[in-house]
Amino acid sequence: MPPIAETTKYQRVPQRVVDDLKAAVGERFVLTEPDELLVYEADALTVIKHLPAAVVLPKTAEEVSAVVKILAAENIPFTPRGAGTGLTGGSIAFNHSVIIETARLNRILKIDYENRLAVVESGVINVHLSQATSPYGFHYAPDPSSQMACTIGGNVSQNSGGPHCLKYGMTTNHILAVEVVLPSGEIVNLGGGGVDAAGYDLLGAFVGSEGTFGIVTKATVKLTRLPQGVKTLLGEFMTVTDASRSVSEIIAAGIVPAALEMIDRATIIAVENSIFAGGFPTDVAALLIIEIDGLSVGIEDEAARAVEICLRHHARAVRIAKDDAERTKLWGARKRAFGAMGRINADLMVQDAVIPRSKLPEVLDEIYAIAARYSLNVANVFHAGDGNLHPNISYDGRNADEVRRVELASKAIMQLCVEAGGTITGEHGVGADKINYMELIFSDADMERMLAVKNVFNPTGLCNPAKVIPATKTCRYCSFGLEDFKKN
Amino acid sequence: MNKDHASLASSLAALIGGDYVTKNQALHLQELTPTLIIKPASAEQVRACLAVCAEADAAVIPAGAMTWLEGGNPLRRADVVLSVERLKRVIEYSPPDLMAIVEAGVALRDFQAQTRSAGQWLPLDPAGADGSTIGAIAATAASGALRLGFGTPRDYVIGLRLAHIDGTESRSGGRVAKNVAGYDLNKLYVGSFGTLALMTEVNVKLRPLPEASATMMITAATLARLLDLARRIRASAVQPVSIFLTAGLTEHASGKALLLRFMESAAAVKYQLQEVEGLLEGEFQAACLAVEEAEALWKKAVNTDELADYAVRLSVPLATVTEVFQQVLTRRAASFASADLGVGIIRLAFPADDQEALEIIRDLRSTATRVGGTLFIEGAAPKVKAALDAWGEVGELAKLMRGIKQNFDPQGLLSPGRFVAGM
Ligand SMILES: Cc1cc2nc3c(=O)[nH]c(=O)nc-3n(C[C@H](O)[C@H](O)[C@H](O)COP(=O)(O)OP(=O)(O)OC[C@H]3O[C@@H](n4cnc5c(N)ncnc54)[C@H](O)[C@@H]3O)c2cc1C
C-alpha cells in the first residue's frame, strides 16, 4: 500500500465512491459537505483537528461491512467513531479518512438476567444499559464519567474505566464477546459470550485496541447485581498529602472500596462555581469520595474503618451521604468535574496517568510543583484508589506560549509518573495525543510485538491510521508499510 | 529427530552449564520422547537458549514444574523441554501497591505463603498439581473453584516479560493494575499454552485476604431438591465465592452435594450462612466444614481428572448449567462430576475403554455445543486424543489465530501441535 500523503486541505471522496456509500447506507447517511463535517474534526481532545473526507452512518453490521469493503477497495482509510467523547484524539480522521459513526447502531438487543448478560449494538450509550437494567437489580458496572454520552463500542475500544472500576474492574472485565467488522469487511465474533472460548484470547487483545483492529458492531456484556447496601463518605482534608496518605492506608488496610476518588481545591472551586455544584466545601485542600458497597452487614464496619483512617490523617470531617439523593448529587458533581473545569479557561488539557498508589503523596506534590514551574493552573480530580491521576491543565489555546508550556508540563508529568513505576494512561488511551509517550514505557521490541498483532487484524493499516503506535516504529514481523503520521 | 542434537546439546551446555542440559530418557509426551531437558537460570539464559534452538530448528516445549505437559493436543514434535523452574525469584513485592513481580518458575504455593504474611493473596486455586508455577498457570489460564468470586489468571496478570523464539525479548503491560497504554498483549499470552513465547516474569496484582472464610456442605434426598435450593440461593442476597454441585465426590447416600463458600468480613460471612440456613426448611442436611476438609473437597471438585482416565470440562451458559449437568450425569451415572453453578463449568471424570470414551466425549461435546457451550478434554488416552481436538473447532477465527502464531513463531517451533487448529 502506498503511503497516503497528508495535506492540510480538505480532500473529497470521489463522487463514484460517495454514490456507492449512499447506495449502501442510504442517501441521508453519508455526509460530505464541509459544514456538515465540521463537528467531526475533533473529539473531546480539542487541540488536534482534522476534517474527515466524509462521514458515514450505517445502521447494521452488514452496512458497516459494505462500507468498509467499498472504502478498502479504493484504498481510502476509515476511522470508527462512537460519541466522540474520547480525550486522546482516537477518532480523529487522519489521512483524510472517512469516519464511520455508530450512532445508528443504537439498539439494546437482549437483556438476559438468567445468564447475567446483555447484547447491545455498539452505539448504545453506556448509561442507557444501566438505566434499563437497574429496575431489575442489575447494572453494567464500568461507569466512565462520560457515561451519559459515550458508547459501549467506544468503551470497548478504549477499555474505559470509571470511578467504580476500582472494585469492579475495567471494561475488559465485563465484555463477554464482540461482533466486529474487520478492516477487510469480514464480520467475525470474538469471545465466547459467557462460555470459555477456545484458542487465543482475541477478545482480550481487541478490547483497548482503540479502533485500530476493526469496528465493533455488537457487544455481549456482563450484567452485575446491584449491591445490597451502599455508603458514600466525603472526607474533608486541609492538605492534599493527608488525603493521599489516607488513600494509601485505606487500600493497605485491605479495604476494597467500590470507589475512592480525590478532588482537589482547584477542581472543587470550578465545580462549585458551575451549575453542577455538589455542595462541596470550598475551604478545603482536597476531598475524598469513598464509597463502600456490598452486603449491608459488611459495609458498616468497613465504612467505620475508613472514617477512622481519614480522621487519623487529620480529616477535618467525614460526612456520610444520608440518602440516595445526596449520593446522586455528590457523584453528579464529581462526574461533571471535567465539564466544570472546561469553563475556567478557553481550553482544558485532560491528562491521564497511573502511579503505584503508595507514591501518591510525593507524585502529587511534584505535579503541583511542575505546574508552578510552567506558570500553569493544574486541577486534580482522579481515581485515587487505583493511582489513576487526572492532572488537568486549563489554558488559553490562542496563547502560543501557554500552549507550549502546557505541552512541556504534560510531558514532565508523564515522565514523573513513569519514573514512579506507573504508566502513561490508565483509561483514556493513547490515541493520537500520547503516541509520542509510548517510548517512555515500551521498547522498540515491545512495540514490534504490538504491531505484529495489529498487522493480523489490520494488515492494510487502513483502519484508524496513525494511532497508538508511533509511525516511526516498524515491525520486522509484519508485512505492511509505515503509517504516515504528521501532527498537523 | 533432528540430526544436530549433539551439537545443540553442547551449544546449550556452553550457555547454561552442562548440569542443566540433560539427555532425556524418562519423560515421554505421549508418543514422543524429547531429546533434551534444559533448565536455564535467568531470563537472559532462556532467551539465548531459544535462539540456539531456533537456529537448530529444534521444537521447544516450554515448561514450569513439568506436571502437565500433556495438556492440550498431542505434540507433533518435541526436541527440547525448556523448564523455567530455576527462575524462582520474587523480584519485587510491594504490599501497599498490591503488586508483585515474580519469575515464571515461582510456585504459586510458595508465593501464597509469602503474601499471606502481609494479609494478601493471589486469589487463584487452579486445578492441577500443588507445585504448579505461576508461569504455567498464566500460560494455561488455569482456574479453579474460586473463579466465581475472584476470576481467572486473565484478571490478575498485569505485565509479562517474554522470551521469543528468535532470541529477542519483550514486555507487555506494566506494573500498575490500571493501564491501557498500547495493545493488551497480556491477554494473548495468557492461555496461549506456550505457543507464542516463553514467559520469564509475571507481574500480578493481589487482593487483600478476606477476614473470614466458610464452606458449607448441603445434602438432600434428591438432586432436584439441591438444584432448586441452588437456584434460590443464587436469587437471594448472598454472594458465595464458590457454588458447586458435586456427584460422586462425597460419601453420602445420594452421592450429591451442594458446596458453598463465603469469603468476606466475619460479619458478612455469618450473615450469609444464616441466610442460607433460612432457606433450608428441614429437608436438607447442612454442615460447615473444617478448614482442611473444605480445602480437600474444593481441590477434589476441580481436579476430577485425577479420579479417572477420562476427564472433560464443559463450559456452558449459566442458564443451562443445571440442565446440562443432569444430562451429563445420566449419560455417565457412575462417574465423578462437579458443576460450578456460578460460572457454568462442568467437570466430569469417568473410566471407559477407548472406543466408548470416544463416543461419550463426542456426545458430550455436541450437548455442550447445542446450548452454545464448549468442551475441553482434560485427560484421555493417546488414541482418543489423536482422534478429537482437545478444544474443538475455532471456526472462522482460525485465520486470525494462525496469523498471530505465524508472526510470533514463524518456524512453528513452540509446542507444535499442542494448541487449537493444529497450532
Ligand atoms: C467529560 C468526560 C469524562 C470522561 N470520563 C472518563 C472516565 O471516567 N473514564 C474513561 O475511561 N474515559 C473517560 N472519558 C473518555 C471517553 O469518554 C471514553 O474514552 C469513551 O469510552 C469514549 O467513547 P465514545 O463513544 O465517545 O468513543 P469515541 O471518542 O467516538 O472513540 C474513541 C475511540 O474508540 C474508537 N471507536 C469508537 N467506537 C468504535 C467502534 N464501534 N468500533 C471500533 N472502534 C471504535 C475510535 O476510533 C476512537 O479510537 C471521558 C471523556 C469526557 C469528555
State the ipTM, two decimals.
0.96
Element (H, E) at A131: helix A126-133
Nearest partner of B182 among A42, A470, A46, A459, judged by Cα: A470
Check residue A7 and give its pLDDT: 42
Which residues 25-84 on chain A approach chain B with CB closer than 8 angstroms? none
Q: What is the mean pLDDT of residues A349-361?
A: 94
Same domain, A330 and A350: no
Contacts of B228 (CB under 8 A, 6+ apart): none
Give the three cell numbers for residue B383.
488414541
Domain that holds residue A113: 108-225
CB-based burial of residue B314 (10 Å sphere; 0-12 exposed, 13-18 middle, 19+ buried)?
A: buried
Which of these three, A203, A225, A247, is where a domain ends? Answer: A225
Q: Do A233 and A326 have their domain in common? A: yes
A392 in the same domain as A311: no
For residue A451, is it within any domain?
A: no
CB of B336 closer than 8 Å to CB of B348: yes
Q: Which residues of B touch A455 (CB under 8 A)?
A: 403, 407
Q: Give the model's confidence band at A9: pLDDT under 50 very low, under 70 low, under 90 confident, else very high.
A: low
Q: Do B180 and A208 touch (CB under 8 A)?
A: yes
Q: For residues B62 and A41, give the distance between their C-alpha atoms in angstroms, rounded to a whole number.
A: 49
CA distance A98 to A93: 7
Cβ-nearest to A450 among B94, B98, B182: B182
Give the distance from residue B156's alpha carbon to the nearest chain A alpha carbon, in angstroms: 11
Q: Quick check: A386 and B421 CB within 8 A?
A: no
Percent of chain A with pLDDT over 90: 86
Interface list for A 292-321 with B (CB within 8 A): 294-295, 297-298, 301-302
CA distance linking residue B382 with residue B364, whole number of Å: 19
Nine cell digits for residue B289: 466444614
Q: How far is the CA of A47 from the centre of ligand 1 (A)?
A: 16
Residues A254 and A169 in one domain: no
Interface of B with A in 83-112 (CB under 8 A): 94-99
> pLDDT band at A427, cuts 50/70/90?
very high
CATH class of this structure's domain B90-208 = alpha beta
Could you say which residues from 165 to 184 on chain B have a Cβ atom under 8 Å away from some Cβ of chain A? 168-172, 174-184
Give chain A positions within 8 Å (CB) of B393.
198
Cβ within 8 Å, pair A450-B183? yes
Q: Does A143 lie in the same domain as A76?
A: no
Statement to judge: residues A138 and A194 lie in one domain: yes
The average pLDDT across A162-170 equals 95
Closest CA to B298 of B262, B336, B244, B335: B244
Tell me if the domain spanning B5-86+410-422 has CATH number 3.30.43.10.
Answer: yes
DSSP SS3 for B38: strand
Q: Which helix (H) or strand (E) holds B23?
A: strand B21-23
Query: Does residue A268 form part of some domain?
Result: yes
Per residue in A117-155, pLDDT (tens digit) is: 999 999 999 999 999 999 999 999 999 999 999 999 999
> A488 pLDDT exceeds 50?
no
Give backbone dihedrals phi and psi of B301, rounded to 5 degrees, phi first.
-65, -25
**Contact assignment for A114 to B318 by CB distance below 8 Å:** yes
Residue A3 has pLDDT above 70, yes or no: no
DSSP per position, B307-343? SSSEEEEEE--GGGHHHHHHHHHHHTTTSEEEEETTT
Mean pLDDT, chain B, rounded, equals 94
Q: What is the CATH number of the domain that holds A27?
A: 3.30.43.10
Domain-located, residue A457: no
Q: Report, in angstroms and rounded to the nearest whole number, the Rg of chain B calculated over CA atoms.
A: 22
**A194 vs A4, higher pLDDT:** A194
CATH of residue A310: 3.30.70.2190
Which residues make beta-bridge pairs with B314?
B346, B375
Q: Does A246 touch chain B (CB under 8 A)?
A: no
Do residues A161 and A384 touch, judged by C-beta distance below 8 A? no
A263 and A196: one domain?
no
The segments of chain B whose pLDDT lies below 50 read: 1
Q: Which three cell numbers stand for residue B67?
A: 506436571
Q: What's the predicted TM-score (pTM) here?
A: 0.96
The whole-angstrom separation of Cα A38 and Cα B34 is 64
In a domain, A1, yes or no: no
Q: Which residue has the cell 552442562?
A: B18
- Ligand 1 surroundings by CB, under 6 angstroms: A 43-44, 79-87, 90-91, 102, 122, 144-146, 150-151, 153-155, 157-158, 160-162, 210-211, 215-216, 338-339, 427-428, 431, 464
Q: What is the pLDDT of residues A215-245, one digit of tens each?
A: 999 999 999 999 999 999 999 999 999 999 9
User: Is A5 part of any domain?
Assistant: no
CA of A149 to the centre of ligand 1 (A): 9
**What's the DSSP call for residue B212?**
E
Q: What is the CATH number of the domain that holds A141?
A: 3.30.465.10
The one-letter code for the residue type at B209 is: L
Residue A151 Cα to ligand 1 midpoint, Å, equals: 7
Cβ atoms A57, A103 nearer than 8 A? yes
Are the CB atoms for B295 and A93 separated by under 8 Å?
A: no
Torsion of Cα atoms, A282 then A283 then A285 then A288, to 10°: -50
Which residues does residue B207 pair with via DSSP β-bridges, in sequence order?
Answer: B121
pLDDT value for B400: 97
* Domain ranges across chain B: 5-86+410-422, 90-208, 212-388
Same-domain pairing of A219 and A240: no
Mean per-residue pLDDT, A416-428? 98
Q: How many domains does chain A have?
A: 4
Quickly name the fold that domain B212-388 has: Vanillyl-alcohol Oxidase; Chain A, domain 3 (3.40.462)
Closest Cα in chain B, distance from residue A28 (Å): 34
Q: Kindly tell me if the per-residue pLDDT of A257 is higher than 50.
A: yes
Q: Which three cell numbers stand for residue A47?
A: 487541540
Q: Are A102 and A81 in contact (CB under 8 A)?
A: yes
Which pLDDT belongs to residue B137?
Answer: 96
Supply the pLDDT for residue B133: 95
The predicted pLDDT at position A1 comes to 26
Task: Summarize pLDDT for B251-297 with one digit per residue, the tens.
Answer: 777 789 999 999 999 999 999 999 999 999 878 999 999 999 999 99
**Taking CB atoms and an 8 Å limit, are A200 and B188 in contact across chains?**
yes
Using a CB-CB cut-off of 8 Å, the residues of chain A touching B190 are 201, 204
